[in-house]
Amino acid sequence: MRHECVCVCVYKNKELIPDYNYFTSVSSSFSDTHQPFLFPLVVCSPMALYRLEKDGRELRIHENADELRSNLAEYIADLSEASIKERGTFAVALSGGSLITLMGKLCEAPYIKTIDWAKWHIFWADERVVAKSHADSNYKLAKDGLFAKVPVIYSHVHSINDTVSAERAAEDYEFVIRQLVRTRVINVSEINDCPKFDLVLLGMGPDGHVASLFPNHSVLSEKLQWVTFITDSPKPPPERITFTFPVINSASNVAVVVTGGGKAEAAHLAIDDIGPDRPKLPARMVQPTQGKLVWFLDIAAASKLDSASFWE
């Protein structure tokens, strides 16, 4: 195993300038760090660090939430441009929570003008079965925080049927997705019949849940349905619909966005090599079959990652 010392750099006047003080402060923020100068980290945007895992995962660690927001916006914009250039549309699935706030840079220059918003088709990886006007609605959260500020076409915003039961809402949503797969608004996986979203954006809870896939829940093992439902969410409201793992893991790109020290232990359990006696969190089951997985974290969320996992 070859260890390589790489310094963190910052952008100044369009050049990468070494910042040794910042390197030291970042290194010391990780727990159990005995050899702080063995982090083979490379700049991917101003003050954002990344490294590639052997299984194809990419981990980006940011100094703070604002730097994460900037890097996340650039990442989404790049995928949007590439997808629209390749197939004329960008099919993206969102979750709720703090994720929408962290996408806020998309509403600002240059992205509000450079992104071809008319080519976006927006879906929800999970949704609470409440009225669209309800404070708990992921649709309302995204509309107020994002879509009302950018020129999306509202017929391209594919929300759930909020007038029926959770079970029926899941069935209806899967039907909508199947229709759009047939018309190739959504691509189809080459290895199964699942939809192949251009991007699935997920947050992660302190318990390690993603979408509405909670620890130890029976829906974690669902293999046939694309969209399923729960009526016993441990987090209110109890009734929700959610993508299943076959759909999430069929996406071309999946991003898991995590901030805050309260999620550091879950990030450790989801990302690091852990023993069989440790709990297997839903976030650890996010493993795109042929797509690319990127974790976006701030330093607080990354504070419990094993230092050895930063070595190549």
List Cα–Cα distances, 88 to 18, 83, 247, 304, in angstroms. Answer: 40, 7, 21, 41
Q: Per residue in 224-263, is it b (16+ CB within 10 Å) or e — as a string?
A: eebbbbbeebeeeeebbbbbbbbbbbbbbbbbbbbbeeeb
Mean pLDDT of successive 10-residue stretches along the chain, which has 312 residues: 36 39 42 36 50 73 92 98 98 95 97 98 98 97 96 97 98 98 96 96 98 97 98 97 99 98 96 83 96 95 76 40
**CA dihedral (194, 200, 202, 208) positive or negative:** positive
Q: Cα Rg for the chain, rounded, in angstroms?
A: 19
Of residues 196, 229, 192, the one with CA closest to residue 213: 229
Q: What pLDDT is attached to residue 30?
A: 44
Name every residue whose Cβ is closer than 8 Å to that of residue 138 and which is 6 or more positions away in sequence: 94, 95, 96, 124, 126, 127, 128
Q: What pLDDT is attached to residue 85?
A: 98
Q: What pLDDT is attached to residue 20?
A: 41
Q: What pLDDT is attached to residue 280?
A: 86
Name every residue whose Cβ is closer than 8 Å to that of residue 163 and which is 6 or more positions away in sequence: none
CA dihedral 275, 279, 282, 284 (to 10 degrees): -10
Q: What pLDDT is attached to residue 49?
A: 62
Report the DSSP beta bridge partners of residue 126.
242
CA distance 149 to 203: 22
Domains of the chain: residue spans and CATH: 53-310 (3.40.50.1360)
Of residues 32, 49, 31, the one with CA closest to residue 40: 49
Q: What pLDDT is attached to residue 95?
A: 96
Interstrand relation of 240-243 and 120-124 (parallel, antiparallel or unpaired)? unpaired
Interstrand relation of 58-62 and 90-94 (parallel, antiparallel or unpaired)? unpaired
- One-letter amino acid of 120: W
CA distance 156 to 148: 13
